[in-house]
A = this chain, B = another copy of it.
Amino acid sequence: MQTLKKRTTYSIGEFASLVGLSAPTIRYYEREGLLKAHRDSSERRVFTDVDIKWVKFLLHLKGTGMSINDLKQYVTWRAMGDETIPNRLALLKNTKTDFMNQYREVQHHLQILNDKINWYEAKETGNNQDSEAFADYLKRLGHTE
């Protein structure tokens, strides 16, 4: 059973748009050690599909709240081999804990935003009980602060 691997490579511009970043940002990430590019005969960066997967993974981590510095730490540990798996796991779990806390807060913020939108809409359509104040409206809904 023979497997044909597509051997596609990308310039920094192609690569950048494939992962949704700018070329300067890719260079910046490389300077920070988050990725390393191969080079062609004239020192131009060459990227592969594996690099795409890697950057997309980094962006997922970043999207959960990890800073560039956190990512650097992760990448450093990764380069050190399997004995740093506990470190990486702890970092990811802390990230998750922070994320979940933020998540809860943000849901409360959304609730207030929704309440305010509904309050304005009631006010606009004249459905407001005698121009009820927002604070009283919230109290009536059982939403604090």
* Closest beta carbon of chain B to A71's beta carbon, Å: 12
Report the bound CA distance from A85 to B103 in whole Å: 29
Partner among B56, B92, B93, B108 whose Cβ is within 8 Å of the Cβ of A60: B108
CB distance from A56 to the nearest CB of B (A): 5
**Assembly of this chain: how many copies?**
2
Contacts of A22 in B (CB 8 A): none
Q: How far is the CA of A105 from the CA of B59 in the complex (A)?
A: 11
A interface residues with partner B (beta carbon < 8 Å):
53, 56-57, 60-64, 85-86, 88-89, 92-93, 95-96, 99, 103, 105-106, 108-110, 112-114, 116-117, 120-121, 123-124, 134-135, 145
Bound Cα distance from A108 to B135, whole angstroms: 35
- Assess A85 versus B124: contact at CB under 8 Å? Given A56-B145, A60-B109, A135-B53: yes
Cβ contact of A63, chosen from B88, B99, B106, B114, cutoff 8 A: B106
Contact across chains for A110 and B64 when beta carbons are under 8 A apart: yes
Give the nearest-CB partner of A82 in chain B: B123
- Cα distance A96–B106 in the bound complex, in angstroms: 12
